[in-house]
Amino acid sequence: MENKRPLYVYYQAPESGEWKTIGAYRHDQEKKLGSFTYLESYVENDSPVSIDPFNLPIRQGPQIPFACSRYGGLHDVLRDSGPDGWGRYLLSKFSGVKQDASSLEFLRRSKNHDRWGALAIGDSVKAPTSFMDTPTFPGFDLLVDELAALEDGKPAVDAKLRRRLQEYSGGGARPKATVRDKDGALWIAKPRSRHDHPETPALEYFCHTWGSLIGINVAKTQLETTPKGNSVALIKRFDRDGSKRILCLSAASAMGHENPSSALSGAIPPSYPLLASKLKLIGAPLEDRKELFDRMVFNALCGNDDDHTRNHALVFDASKKGWRLSPAYDLVPTLNDPPTHLAMCLSVNDRRISTANILSGYAHFGFFSAHEARERLEFIAQKSRECFLEVASILSAELRPTLQNQIDCACKALGDGDAEVAAATKNRKPAKSSTGGLTK
């Protein structure tokens, strides 16, 4: 049976910061189908923005509903706005939401103030802006202690803080909270989980710093050590600009891939070449596709095999009225044996780390030839080795050999290129044009 009361979708306009009601969502529980319809009043204004250019494009004239069957009938971009593992755990534990509840139920029951991106939802036609301010939190030690107590199911260390932490509605599986710095900028505070290696916050800071030195566009990251000796990784939110929100779309949504996977995830596996082709489709600049290639190579070199489709994203650049590849985030090397596969395919259908797979889709990334792509791969590999020495001191003496071994193994695996280049490029026609490699 279809819910006759719609769920309204709100969007914060980037220029004015004003919240606008842009569409209505309805759900047929029996058929597990959803429909989203842009409001004509929104489409007819001066500059309507599609909240998902792949699945919910702006169309002029009478507005026809967009149907959806993924996520039990919840449109991809709305699923992006809902909580993931940690937020769902909190809702299940403290708000009575069943652990196996639908994505729609988790979206409805979560709060608007901390959502990822620039969307919010509600039952009113008018956006309730008074409930959309992101809260701030006290010192890190208390925050770390309370997050640990939440994860362990222990009584509150600070009752007021716990009530606020329970309302987290962002993404990710591990304990975290949004904090505000003295300049008003928002950061994600990530202490280690009880399931993590003790140096996980330092490891994330290390990898983000390493990638940035290589020339990759990485979300700004800091590492805080509290008076009690707790380490906290701080990642600046790229979906916020002061009090304003920035429209975002996960790579899962861009590629039409349900994550976590299901029978509706699609026949085409998510891959770096596919994501690059999506960037081209929406008019993102060539440099973004080259940047994505660099990230694919870096993930293979550093051993980050958690590069799934929710760990890549697109952001809307309001100044240029176009979509861009977001800064890289959640770059954390595995501390097990060096991985042989990444989470996303390196070629159109193969997750194995190899030179052949990396180079097979060279044209998708805007390279004129596999040789040009190979030169870029070698540059990133060499730069990774050089920059590793600059940032290795962030890690303990215990971890440095592990990460050194990781990059040594990866470089060796990617080192035998001539035969693999030939195999990767056999029967491939060169692209018609190219702007060459990036200047980093």
* pLDDT confidence band for 421 (50 / 70 / 90): very low
Query: Is there a single domain that holds both residue 276 and residue 407?
Result: yes
Q: 284 and 171 in one domain?
A: no
Would residue 134 count as lying in a domain?
A: no
**What was the pLDDT predicted at 422?**
43
Residues forming a β-bridge with 27: 34
Contacts of residue 123, defined as CB under 8 A and 6 or more positions apart, other chains included, come to 5, 7, 8
Q: Is residue 54 domain-resident?
A: yes
Structure confidence at residue 425 (pLDDT): 43
Report pLDDT for 263: 54
Mean pLDDT throughout 254-259? 92
Q: Is 207 a domain residue?
A: no
pLDDT tens across 329-341, in order? 999 999 988 999 9
What span, in angstroms and rounded, lies between the C-alpha atoms of 345 and 393?
32
pLDDT at 437 over 80: no
- Sequence letter at residue 391: V
Residues 80 and 171 in one domain: no
CATH number of the domain bearing residue 282: 1.10.1070.20
The answer on pLDDT for 351 being more than 90 is: yes
Same domain for 299 and 363, yes or no, is: yes
Per-residue confidence (pLDDT) for residue 128, from 0 to 100: 74
Model confidence over 356-413: pLDDT tens digits?
999 999 999 999 999 999 999 999 999 999 999 999 999 999 999 999 999 999 988 8
pLDDT digits (tens, 9 = 90+) for 18-43: 899 999 999 999 999 999 999 999 99
Question: Domain range for residue 162?
Answer: 140-198+213-240
Answer yes or no: do 153 and 46 share one domain: no
Residue with the larger pLDDT of the pair 16 and 310: 310
Rounded to two decimals, what is the model's pTM?
A: 0.91
pLDDT at residue 8, as a whole number: 98
Choose the most confident range, by mean pLDDT, from 218-227, 283-292, 420-429.
Answer: 283-292
256 and 113 assigned to the same domain: no
* Number of compact structural domains in the chain: 3
More confident residue, 127 or 1: 127
Give the Cα separation of 194 and 282 in Å (integer).
41
Q: Write 137-143 long-range contacts (CB < 8 A, 24+).
A: 137/161, 137/164, 137/165, 137/177, 137/178, 137/179, 137/180, 137/189, 139/226, 140/189, 140/224, 140/226, 140/230, 140/232, 141/226, 141/227, 141/228, 141/230, 143/177, 143/179, 143/189, 143/191, 143/232
Do 254 and 396 lie in one domain? The reply is yes
Distance CA 295, CA 54 (A): 23
> Are 334 and 279 members of one domain?
yes
Q: Say what the pLDDT of residue 172 is.
A: 80
My answer on whether 402 and 281 are in the same domain is: yes
Please tell me whether residues 107 and 176 are part of one structural domain.
Answer: no
The radius of gyration computed from the CA coordinates of the chain, to the nearest angstrom, equals 22
Q: What pLDDT digit, counting tens, does each position of 148-187 carry? A: 999 998 999 989 888 888 888 877 888 999 888 888 889 9
pLDDT computed for residue 182 by the predictor: 82
Residue 205 maps to a domain:
no
pLDDT in the model for residue 106: 94
Per-residue pLDDT at 413: 84
Residues 250 and 233 in one domain: no
Per the prediction, the chain carries an average pLDDT of 89
pLDDT digits (tens, 9 = 90+) for 258-296: 987 765 555 689 999 999 999 999 999 999 999 999 999
Checking if the pLDDT of 416 tops 90, the result is: no
Query: Does a structural domain hold residue 95?
Result: yes
- Does pLDDT of 209 surpass 90? yes
Beta strands in 155-238 (DSSP E): 177-180, 186-191, 221-225, 231-236
The residue behind tokens 């959806």 is 68
- Is 405 a domain residue? yes
112, 120 in Cβ contact below 8 A?
yes
407 occurs within a structural domain:
yes
Asked whether residue 427 is domain-assigned, the answer is: no
290 and 400 fall within a common domain: yes
Place of tokens 């071994």: 405
